[in-house]
Every structure is written in C-alpha cells, then in structure tokens.
C-alpha cells in the first residue's frame, strides 16, 4: 500500500478594526493578523496539527512582527475575519 504524506499550512487572516503605527514606514493602517497552522497531511487531507505560528504585518510596507499566542488572542479581540 502506498501512503502519500506531507505537511500543509492552513492560514487564517484577520484585519484589525483599529489602526496601528508601523515602526518601519511610519504610517497608520489596519494591520493584518495571521494564524498559520501547520498540519501533517495524509493523502492531501490535513490530519494532525503540528505547529502554529502567529504574526501581524503592516498593509502598506509588509513589515512583519512575530507574535506569541497570548498577544495574538489579545489583538484578535478587536479584529474581523478577512476573506481572501
């Protein structure tokens, strides 16, 4: 029997409802929050979650900051899901 296994990301994006100052481009914009959950997949179906990464980034210049889960959830309180 042949198994096709690998890993695949599942990315969820949210947009902040308030503006935030970017330390790179010095503009205020509604930053994007991103949750990147990595799964082990079997036959291209995500089965086991292995790692989750959190980050947010500036919409204007793309400056990115990595977040921990606690900070991410705190920022998520004032954000809405983004359909991509």
Binding-site ranges for Zn ion (CB under 5 A)? 22, 24-25, 58, 60-61, 63
For residues 15 and 77, is the Cβ–Cβ distance under 8 A? no
Q: What's the closest the beta carbon of residue 34 comes to Zn ion, in angstroms?
A: 15
Q: What's the closest the beta carbon of residue 5 comes to Zn ion, in angstroms?
A: 39
CB nearer Zn ion, residue 6 or residue 62: 62
Q: What's the closest the beta carbon of residue 68 comes to Zn ion, in angstroms?
A: 21
Three-state DSSP string of 20-54: EECCCCCCEECCEEEEEEEEEEECCEEEEEEEEEE
CB nearer Zn ion, residue 28 or residue 43: 28
CB nearer Zn ion, residue 23 or residue 70: 23
**Main-chain phi, psi angles of 70, to 5 degrees:** -65, -50
């Amino acid at each position: 029997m042949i198994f096709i296994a690998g890993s695949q990301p599942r990315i969820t994006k949210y947009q902040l409802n308030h503006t935030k100052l970017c330390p790179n481009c010095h503009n205020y914009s509604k930053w994007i929050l991103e949750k990147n959950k990595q799964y082990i997949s079997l036959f291209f179906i995500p089965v086991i979650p292995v790692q989750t990464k959190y980050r947010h980034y500036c919409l204007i210049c793309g400056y990115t900051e990595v977040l921990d889960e606690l900070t991410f959830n705190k920022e998520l309180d004032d954000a809405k899901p983004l359909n991509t």
